[in-house]
């Protein structure tokens, strides 16, 4: 693996995606301001805004970084460079994760800080926020995997829709699992085996999706 080449490809995508990245950061900062400064009602509104920003950021950046290369016919230019498809895939996966992880880490950090430090909020929500935040990361990896493997706009949009529906469905389901729901609104944070297992399952899925994408892409025979 030529890591210098991978780094150049990452910097290329970073430059080309700088506007969506800046907008997602701006949206994230605005949502956090509402979340931190808006009291109890502001916390709920800020949380909804943060989720919206993260979902939008995930959908836009992932679609831009995977499908657009083929759709706008820039893939022949990239693939004419001295790179292998493994390096191309590695660069895409890294840049997608980095672009998403920046607003995601800030949002998660701010949410945890507010829940942990503010006397008006319950710390019991922290495991639920961690599980749902990880779900969004999982959803981003899912969209990235579909986008990179299929290179089809139709399938990627379908993956975005599945990801959006899954956030609501999984959010509802997790909130009704006994090991999570029983301490959710309590004053103290409790990591139950159920919450731990959910988190583990999410990160195992993320690892599987990333590894699977890399494997499928490495075995591809036709790049154009």
- The dihedral through the CA atoms of 60, 49, 133, 37 has a sign that is positive
Cα–Cα dist 50/54, whole Å? 6
Q: Confirm or reject binding of residue 120 to other proteins (CB under 8 A).
A: no
The answer to whether residues 115 and 122 touch, using CB atoms and an 8 Å cutoff, is yes
Of the candidates 89, 219, 210, the residue with the CA atom closest to the CA atom of residue 142: 210
The residue within the footprint of other proteins, chosen from 36, 45, 79, 157 (CB under 8 A), is 79
The residue within the footprint of other proteins, chosen from 15, 154, 176, 188 (CB under 8 A), is 15
The residue within the footprint of other proteins, chosen from 29, 51, 60, 83 (CB under 8 A), is 83
Q: How far is the CB of 80 from other proteins (least distance, A)?
A: 4
Q: Confirm or reject binding of residue 200 to other proteins (CB under 8 A).
A: no
The answer to whether residues 147 and 63 touch, using CB atoms and an 8 Å cutoff, is yes
Half-sphere exposure in the Cβ direction for 146 (13 Å, CA): 20
Q: Confirm or reject binding of residue 178 to other proteins (CB under 8 A).
A: no
Stretch that binds other proteins, among 80-88, 117-125, 135-143, 194-202 (CB under 8 A): 80-88
Residues that bind other proteins (CB under 8 A): 2, 5, 8, 12, 15-16, 72-74, 76-77, 79-84, 87, 221-224
């Amino acid at each position: 693996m030529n890591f210098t080449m991978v780094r150049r490809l990452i910097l290329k995508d970073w430059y080309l995606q700088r506007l969506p990245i800046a907008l997602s950061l701006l949206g994230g900062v605005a949502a956090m301001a509402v979340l931190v400064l808006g009291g109890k009602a502001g916390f709920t509104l800020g949380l909804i805004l943060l989720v919206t920003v993260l979902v939008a950021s995930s959908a836009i950046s992932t679609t831009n970084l995977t499908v657009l290369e083929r759709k706008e016919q820039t893939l022949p230019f990239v693939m004419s460079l001295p790179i292998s498809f493994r390096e191309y895939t590695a660069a895409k996966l890294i840049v997608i994760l980095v672009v998403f992880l920046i607003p995601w880490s800030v949002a998660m950090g701010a949410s945890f800080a507010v829940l942990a430090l503010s006397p008006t909020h319950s710390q019991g929500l922290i495991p639920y926020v961690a599980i749902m935040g990880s779900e969004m990361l999982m959803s981003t990896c899912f969209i990235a995997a579909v986008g990179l493997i299929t290179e089809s706009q139709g399938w990627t949009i379908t993956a975005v829709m599945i990801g959006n529906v899954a956030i609501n469905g999984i959010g509802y389901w997790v909130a009704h699992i006994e090991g999570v729901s029983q301490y959710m609104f309590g004053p103290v944070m409790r990591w139950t085996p159920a919450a731990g297992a959910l988190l583990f399952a999410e990160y195992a899925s993320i690892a599987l999706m990333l590894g699977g994408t890399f494997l499928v892409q490495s075995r591809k025979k036709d790049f154009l």
